Chains A and B, each alone.
Chain A
Amino acid sequence: MIMAFDEAFDVLVIGGGHAGCEAASASARLGATTALLTLNLDLIGQMSCNPAIGGIAKGHLVREIDALGGIMGRVIDRTGIQFRLLNRSRGPAVQSPRAQADRALYRLEMRKTLENTPNLSLRQGMVVDLLTPNNKVRGVVMQDGRRIGAKAVVIAAGTFLNGLIHTGRRTYGAGRAGEPASLELAETLKRLGLPVGRLKTGTPPRLDGRTIDWDLFQSQQADERPVAFSFSTDKIEQPQIDCYIGYTTSRVHEAIRKNLHESPLYSGQIKGVGPRYCPSIEDKVVKFAEKDRHQLFLEPEGHDTNEVYLNGFSTSLPAGLQQELVRMIPGLESANIIRPGYAIEYDYVDPRELGPDLQVRRIAGLFHAGQINGTTGYEEAGCQGLLAGINAARLVQGHTRFALRREESYIGVLVDDLITQGVDEPYRIFTSRAEYRLAFRHDNADERLSKYGREVGLVGDGEWERFNKRRDRIAKIKSALRTTRIRQSDAAYLALAEKIGLNGVESITLEDLAKRAGVTSVIISQLLPAETRAGGSLEEIESALADNLYSGYIRSQENVIHRLHGHDTLPIPIGLDFRTVNGLSHEMAERLERAKPVTFGAARRIPGLTPAALVTLLVNVNVGV
């Protein structure tokens, strides 16, 4: 078939959200001519929901994106207005950076970043069709009739696919408040035979900050020592602001319960499944009826706006009712809603259609990233966009596909979960999803992943040198921790013994000392030889200490997992008819049929599958008949 195109690129990225931006940037920087197709150029990098990036496990994802050479970390570092390291009092593996963004600044900074990327073109318009003769991507058709050729296409359309907004009983098609839904593209996906499902998410109302009685809320300050997301950021420059914490009351709950019939969630109007960890206020009030208050966060949206995000009050109740409810909250008695909250349903495609490179298995050159894969969250979207963008470029350039393993990164965990388990509610990353949580720290993302970013070609010379220097400094600190001993004859000994009790040991290495309760990184840093201390930051000392703290646990965990799950990597033949496997009960065969595992590791994680069924499968598939 000969196709006439108005323009042609190597790679097209559909959607200018967090997945699309990473995908377009990565593809272009890898040398593929790339176009980002978006409905509205002014809304590139828009944060549709909460104006914040990071959080437990999500912050890890952003640092992993950064270590691989992605852009999200740099952009938030330049536009974040409240940096906080979460879980600072807990173990280093579960500490994670979070920053609230100036929503408008983030968007502008992202657009600027993309505009300054060589090989990358921006095009406004709506894609209505994919050209995929012989199951191979050739290009797209735009609503205005333009035909754009491409060898690979990344779909990162967020909630726009067949988006349907609900407020109260009113519904209307939209991709996001104020923007049209993408209906034809959603139809195209169905036409291509892809299994499409429905998910739901929601957002809270935004308030006019001038109408809030701030004194009735408890302020929450930014960290004094902000932890940046990007390994290339030296300093956070944005002035930092406070956020505010408040609570709902039982009066509010009462009123919500009385009006549940107005909620599309409870009337059965919404069919899509929402995320359990991001429940609407209606859900909270119904499911946890015994709680007499729910926490709320007031998050100012930026330096130059009065708009305030009412985090914790996600709702799809009618707009008028939302206004009434908000005014029942102490401190918001005279608050005005300037944008009502809403729920949105959208299409997603079963991610089990994808390979580990996020390419749709049955259509060469088609990649999916972000909410289309059933995920939620900017960070989850961003890392998929990065992976899809890298692989789209590599496909065009004839390179092998690039994938990350679940043993080395949260990104690997996320992708593996998606493509092997599928989703039945919007998927969010959690640290508990990772078997090797202790090994995945936000501060060692570079140690884990920069080498891949370098190999792929996204980590430039400057960053690579920076990484190597940092690694050398940490190695020096580690060796100093091993060799430096505090002896009874040292002046520091007595003070230490008083503080933490040394039981009269003759001498102790800093490495062992650090494992004792009450010994902080600051104490250790003061005991290090002066030249070592001068050669590394406190953060680097903390990284070295964390490596030491966990190494034994990580090893023993590896042993356990190896012993129990040694068969995980064995493949299960694709297309195996589980009902023909001898000895598998009907129920077990059905579970396997539904999950379609391609490895024993994936089969093992199918809920309800018994060890006996797994062994039966193992005997049959590997012993063969």
Chain B
Amino acid sequence: MDTIVAVSTPPGRSAIAVVRLSGAESLEILRALVRQEEFAPEPNRVVLKSLLINDDVLDQCLVTYFRAPHSFTGEDMVEISCHGSPVVLRQLIDLIQSYDARLAEPGEFTLRSCRNGKMNLSQAEAIRDLISAQTRAAAVQATRQLRGELAEALEPSKHELVRVIVVLESAIEFVEDDLPSVQLDEIRKTLQRLVVDLSRLADTYKAGHLLRDGIRVAIVGRPNVGKSSLFNKLLGFERAIVTDVAGTTRDSLTESISLQGIPVSLTDTAGFREAGDKIEAIGIERTRRAMADADLLVLVLDGSCSLQDEDQEILKAAGEQAFVVAINKTDLPQLANMNDHLNGAKVVHVSALTDEGIPELTAAILEPFGSLDSDSVGLLITDSRHHDLLARAKISLEGAARSMDQAAGEEIVLADLHNALRFLGAITGETTSEQILGEIFSTFCIGK
């Protein structure tokens, strides 16, 4: 297998970055990097080395060599911990690529690990999620998937579905037998229940995928209402520049944070108004885009001034999107009539200066996404493939119920029920016709 390389810490500026190499050439490349042909590191031992480029020291790094098969991928691997400057990283990766390694595809390390018998695919998927989990709650969900809890959670529904199939199949296959008559009403009720159960599980995807990928929140409002101030408050440090000059923020700025365990990617935007110059126009265009991409908007108003045309405009621009109104600057004398213009939208009163209302704002941001906040929540669907299969299973069940209402034959109802079972089977494992027959024979006394 060829040798692959990737930066295995998240992109962006950080104190330490880890570069990983996997493949037969890993050690040779490391030797080239340290300019020591004889370099024979002891496996699994961290050593400090200078990496050189054109005889200049590129960086002082900690390097570790893992010998196959005792590594994550099962191949020879090298890990280089260097300083996290993007410039250094870029140079290092370029250099490594010039030594016969190529950039890894997404997930390729995991795939190699999988192929070399280090883990099975579902574990690999869960580990991928676990690694990329940004918060504790997301990590809890990934761990649950790792334990196969989804398949387990579906088992009762699948079992009920098989019971219905068994009853209808028996009616078709064993006409000559003295079977109890089919209770259509009971079957209808069971199908309804299954639809509800599957919908409920499928609907957790909305939360589950947010948990995995994070909620995108954009802070918007006209200039000077205090967007950047609130952004910094939620972040916990002074990231954005705050001044009393309207139009301070000229470009959108995004940071990842964890709000009560939920990953949130928070975007501060340029104030919304008639653009004064070209740069501002571009900034405002970016604001529009950030708004469109967001799962939720925090609409900031200045409580110490009356509602302006620009405020109205941004309320209109929010349109159908989910939003929370933050009336800022409660430390100043407030104008009382603001709520009248907000048509019952969710409103919180805050002050970026005194911190008043910040916990309420956090709660209001998370509220539309349900209680995702701890490991006490039930199982969530985090994988879009699982969500798709559940949704299709549900549609098939609804089709079966509709056929029953139209007094269609059992074989037609069963066509949809078997489809539903196939969709569930793609998550939990196939139910074979032999297993269904087994169920029939243990339920009914069949046969002459």
A542 CB to nearest B CB, Å: 14
Q: How far is the CA of A517 from the CA of B438 in the complex (A)?
A: 33
Query: Does A583 lie within 8 Å of B415, measured CB to CB?
Result: no
The answer, among A56, A565, A607, for a CB contact under 8 Å with B432, is: A607
B39, chain A: closest CB distance, angstroms: 29
- The residues of B that contact A462 with a CB separation of less than 8 Å are none
> Does chain B have a CB within 8 A of A364?
no
Within 8 A of B (CB), among A557-578: 557, 560-561, 564-565
Residues on B with beta carbons closer than 8 Å to the beta carbon of A438: 411-412, 415
Contact with B along A302-336 (1 / 0, CB 8 A): 00000000011010000000000000000000000
Contact check, A605 vs B430: say whether CB atoms are below 8 A apart. Answer: yes
Q: At the interface, yes or no: A405 with Cβ under 8 Å from chain B? A: no
Interface residues of B in 421-437 (CB under 8 A from A): 422-423, 425-430, 432-437
Q: Nearest Cβ distance between residue B111 and chain A, in whole angstroms? A: 8
Q: Known contacts A90-B410, A276-B441, A432-B437: does B419 contact A612 (CB below 8 Å)?
A: no
Q: Which residues of B contact A291 (CB under 8 A)?
A: 445
CB contacts (< 8 Å) of A556 on chain B: these are 415, 419
Contact check, A583 vs B121: say whether CB atoms are below 8 A apart: yes
Residues 592-625 of chain A, each 1 if its beta carbon lies under 8 Å from chain B, else 0: 0000000000001111111111011001100101
Distance in Å: Cβ of A579 to nearest Cβ of chain B? 10
| Chain B residues whose C-beta falls within 8 Å of the C-beta of A606 in the assembled complex | 430, 432
**Residues on the A chain within 8 Å of B175, using CB:** 56, 86-87
Does A284 sit within 8 A of B, measured CB to CB? yes
On whether A615 and B121 interact (CB within 8 A), knowing A50-B448, A564-B422, the answer reads yes
Chain B: minimal CB distance from A564 (Å): 5
**Complex-state Cα separation, A173 to B226, whole angstroms:** 97
Determine if B384 is an interface residue (Cβ-Cβ < 8 Å). Answer: no
Contact of A619 among B114, B151, B173, B441 (CB under 8 A): B114
By CB atoms of chain A within 10 A, which of B418, B419, B428, B433 has the most?
B433
Do A430 and B433 have beta carbons less than 8 Å apart?
Answer: yes
C-alpha spacing A625/B441, complex, angstroms: 45
Does B246 interact with chain A (Cβ within 8 Å)?
no
Given contacts A87-B175, A433-B433, contact A278 B115 (CB under 8 A): no
Closest residue on chain B to residue A91 by CB atoms: B409
Counting contact residues on chain B (CB < 8 A from A), the size range is: 35 or more
Using an 8 Å CB-CB cutoff, how does the interface string of A75-110 with B read, 1 for contact, 0 for none?
A: 000000000001100110110000000000000000
| Complex interface: chain A residues within 8 A of B119 (CB) | 583
Confirm or deny: B407 has a beta carbon within 8 angstroms of a beta carbon on chain A: yes
**A135 at interface (Cβ–Cβ under 8 A)?**
no
- A517-B173 CB under 8 A given contacts A564-B422, A585-B120: no
Q: Are A431 and B172 in contact (CB under 8 A)?
A: yes
Taking the closest CB of chain A, its distance from the CB of B68, in whole angstroms, is 13
Flag whether A5 is at the interface (Cβ < 8 A): no
CA distance A291 to B445 in the complex (A): 9
Tell me if A86 and B176 are in contact (CB < 8 A). yes
A419 to chain B, nearest CB (A): 15
Contacts of A293 in B (CB 8 A): 178
Contacts of B169 in A (CB 8 A): 432
User: Which of chain A's residues has its CB closest to B389's CB?
Assistant: A564
Q: How far is the CA of A107 from the CA of B441 in the complex (A)?
A: 33
Contact A94 B120, beta carbon cutoff 8 Å: no
What is the CA–CA distance of A50 and B448 in the complex, to the nearest angstrom?
10
Number of chain A interface residues as a range? 35 or more
Give the distance in Å from the alpha carbon of A583 to the alpha carbon of B177 in the complex: 47
Interface: B117 (CB within 8 A): yes
Q: How far is the CB of A264 from chain B (nearest CB, A)?
A: 19
Q: Which residue of the partner chain A has the closest CB to B171?
A: A90
Closest CB-CB distance, A101 to chain B, in whole Å?
16
> Cβ of A437 and Cβ of B117 under 8 Å apart?
no
Q: How far is the CB of A53 from chain B (nearest CB, A)?
A: 14
The complex places the Cα of A213 from the Cα of B443 at a distance, in Å, of: 33
Within 8 A of B (CB), among A38-66: 50, 55-57
Asked if A91 meets B178 with Cβ closer than 8 Å, knowing A50-B448, A277-B441, A616-B121, the reply is no
Once A91-B411, A564-B423 are accepted as A-B contacts, the answer to whether A56 and B172 lie under 8 Å apart by CB is yes
Q: Which residues 193-242 of B have a CB within 8 angstroms of A?
A: none
Cβ of B111: which chain A residues have Cβ within 8 Å of it? 619
Tell me, yes or no, whether B406 is within 8 Å of chain A by CB: yes
A297 in the interface (beta carbon within 8 A): yes
Whether a CB of chain B sits under 8 angstroms from the CB of A258 is: no
Residue pair A582, B121 in contact (C-beta under 8 Å): no
Least distance between B328 CB and chain A CB atoms (Å): 50
B91 within 8 A of A: no
Shortest beta-carbon distance from B239 to chain A in Å: 42
Question: Taking the complex as formed, is A186 at the interface, i.e. its CB lies under 8 A from any CB of chain B?
Answer: no
- Does residue B140 face the partner (Cβ distance < 8 Å to A)? no
Known: A430-B437, A582-B115, A609-B430. A616 touches B445 (CB 8 A): no
Q: A437 and B411: CB pair below 8 A?
A: yes
Q: Identify 17 new A-B residue pairs, CB closer than 8 A, beyond the known A90-B410, A432-B414.
A: A56-B172, A93-B409, A93-B411, A279-B446, A295-B178, A295-B448, A431-B411, A432-B437, A560-B396, A564-B422, A583-B124, A605-B430, A606-B432, A607-B430, A610-B428, A611-B429, A611-B430
Which A residues have a C-beta under 8 Å from some C-beta of B? 50, 55-57, 86-87, 90-91, 93-94, 275-279, 284, 287-288, 291, 293-295, 297, 311-312, 314, 421, 430-433, 435, 437-438, 517, 550, 553, 556-557, 560-561, 564-565, 582-585, 604-613, 615-616, 619-620, 623, 625
> What are some 24 contacts across the A-B interface (CB < 8 A)?
A56-B173, A56-B175, A87-B172, A90-B411, A93-B409, A277-B447, A278-B448, A279-B447, A288-B445, A291-B445, A294-B178, A432-B169, A432-B433, A438-B412, A553-B412, A560-B423, A583-B120, A585-B120, A604-B430, A607-B430, A607-B432, A608-B429, A610-B428, A612-B121
Closest 6 CB pairs of A and B: A91-B409, A582-B117, A612-B122, A288-B445, A295-B178, A276-B441
- Where the two chains meet, the residues of B that have a C-beta atom closer than 8 Å to any C-beta of A are 1, 111, 114-122, 124, 151, 169, 172-178, 392, 396, 406-412, 414-415, 418-419, 422-423, 425-430, 432-438, 441, 445-448
